[in-house]
Amino acid sequence: MTPATELAQGLHVLGIDLSHAAQNKLLAYVTLLDKWNKTYRLTGLKDPSLAVSHHLLDSLAILPFIEGKTLLDVGSGGGMPGIPLAIARPELGVVLLDSNAKKTAFLQQVAIELGLVNIAVHCGRVEAYRPVASFSAISARAFSDLGEFVRLSRHLLQTGGHWLAMKGLRPQDEMANLSVDVVVDAVHRLKVPGITGERHLVIMSSSQAQH
């Protein structure tokens, strides 16, 4: 099966309708990722044939749960889930944040080459990031445990906003150890075409208004 066919079928299973232009940009992104990965070690995925399922479809599986107009992708690495989400939702303002300068150089290059004007890239640590405006959603894929993710990015979440943490197994212990003012709004088990292991999305919010 070609990557284009795998992507189209996977999107259909996920119930996500994307234009051919958007699908082509997604495929162009994984091509760039594979090219740069040889030098920059952007992702641990050894087999490029798994890129559509493990990078694109895995990232897009959380698309139905993104609310609001802005998204901060913490520890974005090779750009997951931020870049696929930005391609799928051109009206969503996405900031990709990573402390690794080689990775942010790649992210900047992707945004330029694919004409993704809704993406901004920031190189630095999340706890030191002080943008002008806070975000309606903050995502992370395999960034840290839930408590650490919330603690480091708390100052960046809008009142009424949500944290979206992508996990493998359901992180029961991590959820039990969250601070009392953090609410687990939902835990969704994601069925991602082409991925056999468990995938979960933990959606959290703060019960305290941000000041």
**189 neighbors 200 (Cβ within 8 angstroms):** yes
- How far from 83 is each of 40, 49, 92, 107, 185, CA to CA, in Å? 18, 19, 11, 8, 25
Work out the angle at residue 81's Cα, subtended by the Cα atoms of residues 75 and 83, and round it to the nearest 5 degrees.
100
Q: How far apart are CA 147 and CA 123, in angstroms?
A: 22
Is 126 marked as a binding-site residue? yes
Phi, psi values for residue 205, rounded to 5°:
-145, 170
Is 166 marked as a binding-site residue? no
Q: Which of 190, 140, 147 is nearest to 169 (CA)?
A: 190
Is 75 marked as a binding-site residue? yes
Helical segments of 154-209, H only: 172-176
Is 141 marked as a binding-site residue? yes
Is 170 marked as a binding-site residue? no
The binding site consists of 75, 80, 126-127, 141
The binding site for S-adenosyl-L-methionine consists of 75, 80, 126-127, 141
